[in-house]
Amino acid sequence: MIKSERILHDLKTERDVITKPLPPVMGLVPVFFYLSVICAIGFNISFFIKNKEIEALTAEWTNKAELENIEKVKTEEQIQLIRNEDQKAEEVYKWVQGSKQIQPLALSIARSMGQKSSIEELLLYREEKNPHQIRIQLKFINGGQKQLDTTLSAINSIGYRAYSANQNLIQGGKVDYQATLIWQDNNYITKELTLNHE
């Protein structure tokens, strides 16, 4: 036994320089290390998962916002279309108001003439700036003021009113009458279509 101890002693030589052990508190260093490894891995995995979820949510909100913006742009386009239609309707309305049938007016004036009276010339025209107004220039012979009153009441009966009238009664019952006729329908664009020949 003694012999073998000697042999071992021979193999393991004495170490001259052995460092001083660290203070006992330093034993916590590996504990902190392992703890921080576990925490770091745990926290980072948790942060990574949350980050992915948040990124997905962000992408979803961004997509939704883009869809909303697209919808808004579409709505704006529709608004523009409606405005264009509205403007077009205004123009058409103005045109139609200036296209009211003139034949009933001319006919009612012609029919209002008494047996002795006779139209020499009847001019009905629309000025380009105010096509809804009709200028009338009527020249007739015989009948005088009485005939003119009859003709004016015939004009009134079909819905026109005379403004800025100017009349010349010439000897022999000849009358030269000028006026502006305005349609008395004050309804603006109604829901129902009213063709001007109706």
Partner 1 sequence: MNNKHLACLVVGFLIIAMMQWTNVSHQKLKSAQDSEVMSRSAFDSAVISRVAEQRKMVILKNKTESKRNYLNEWSPYINQIKNAQVGEALINMKIKEAKIITLSQVFDSFDREDGSAIQSRLNAQLVLEDDYVKVFNWLAKFEASVPAARVSSCKLSKGQSGNDLRMDLSLDLPITNDGKAKNTKASSGYES
Residues 39-58 that bind partner 1 (CB under 8 A): 39-40, 43-44, 47-48, 50-51, 54-55, 57-58
Binder to partner 1 among 3, 16, 22, 24 (CB under 8 A)?
Answer: 22
10 Å CB burial of residue 59 (0-12, 13-18, 19+) is exposed
Residues 164-193 that bind partner 1 (CB under 8 A): 189-191, 193
Does residue 145 touch partner 1 according to CB under 8 A?
no
- Which residues, at least 6 apart from 38, have a Cβ–Cβ distance to it below 8 Å? none
Which is closer to partner 1, CB of 11 or CB of 18?
18
Of 8-16, 119-127, 148-156, 177-185, the window that binds partner 1 (rule: CB under 8 A) is: 119-127
The encoded tokens of residue 142 equal: 């015989």
Beta strand pairing call for 160-170 and 133-141: unpaired
Which is closer to partner 1, CB of 2 or CB of 195?
195
Is the Cα torsion angle 169, 173, 179, 181 positive or negative in sign? positive
Q: Are 150 and 114 in contact (CB under 8 A)?
A: yes
Residues 83-112 that bind partner 1 (CB under 8 A): 83, 85-93, 95-96, 98-99, 101-104, 106-107, 110
The encoded tokens of residue 22 equal: 């660290």
